[in-house]
C-alpha cells in the first residue's frame, strides 16, 4: 500500500485511482453511508471532465482563468454545483465548436470531452441540460454544499492509494 497525498494523485493519477483513494478515505471517516453514496458519484462527475482537461493541458477555473495543474483547490472550485453546471455547458459548446470557448485559454489542439457521466449526474439532480438559464431546486444546491464540505475534509488529509 502506497501513501500518496491528494495533490500528487490529482496531478499524476487517473480518475479510477483518485476515486479509489477517496473511497478508501470515506471508509475510514466516521460519516453516515448517505454521504459516501453522494460523494463518490459527485467526484466521478467532476473528474470525468477535469482529467481530460488536465491531459490536454487546458485546465481552467470557473472564471475561465488557466491553471497548469489540477490541485485540491481547483478541484474544490468545481465542487460548486452552479460552477459544475456552467462547466457542462462550456464543454458542450466547446465540443460542438471544436475548440475551447468561454474561457481565457486559446488552444488549437482541443479534443472533445465525453460529457455522459457529468450529464447523467447533473440530470439526476434535475439540472436542465438544454437551457442554461433555467435554475435548479435550492435543496439540490444545499445538498451539494454538504458534499463539498466532506470533499474538502478528504482533500486536506493524506489518502491511501489502494
pLDDT exceeds 60 at position 104: yes
pLDDT digits (tens, 9 = 90+) for 25-81: 888 887 888 988 999 999 999 999 999 999 999 999 999 999 999 999 999 999 999
Residues 6 or more apart whose CB falls under 8 angstroms from that of 58 comprise 66, 100, 105, 107, 110
Please, which pLDDT band fits residue 162 given cuts at 50, 70 and 90?
very low
Listed by start position, the domains of the chain span 43-157
The confidence score (pLDDT) of residue 28 equals: 86
Tell me the C-alpha distance between 39 and 139, whole Å.
16
Q: Please report the pLDDT score of residue 139 as a whole number.
A: 84
- Grid coordinates representing 95 are 465540443
Furthest CA-CA distance within the chain: 47
pLDDT tens-place string over residues 16-34: 999 999 998 888 887 888 9
Check residues 3 and 162 and name the one with the higher pLDDT: 3
Amino acid at each position: 500500500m502506497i501513501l500518496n497525498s491528494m495533490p500528487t494523485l490529482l496531478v499524476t493519477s487517473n480518475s479510477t485511482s483518485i476515486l479509489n483513494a477517496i473511497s478508501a478515505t470515506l471508509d475510514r471517516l466516521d460519516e453516515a453511508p448517505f454521504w459516501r453514496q453522494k460523494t463518490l458519484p459527485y467526484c466521478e462527475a467532476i473528474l470525468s471532465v477535469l482529467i481530460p482537461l488536465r491531459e490536454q493541458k487546458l485546465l481552467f477555473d470557473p472564471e475561465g482563468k488557466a491553471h497548469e495543474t489540477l490541485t485540491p483547490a481547483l478541484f474544490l472550485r468545481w465542487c460548486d454545483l452552479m460552477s459544475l453546471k456552467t462547466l457542462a455547458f462550456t464543454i458542450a459548446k466547446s465540443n460542438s465548436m471544436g475548440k475551447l470557448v468561454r474561457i481565457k485559454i486559446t488552444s488549437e489542439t482541443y479534443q472533445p470531452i465525453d460529457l455522459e457521466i457529468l450529464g447523467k449526474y447533473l440530470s439526476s439532480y434535475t439540472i436542465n441540460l438544454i437551457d442554461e438559464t433555467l435554475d435548479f431546486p435550492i435543496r439540490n444546491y444545499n445538498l451539494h454544499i454538504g458534499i463539498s464540505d466532506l470533499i474538502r475534509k478528504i482533500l486536506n488529509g493524506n489518502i491511501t492509494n489502494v
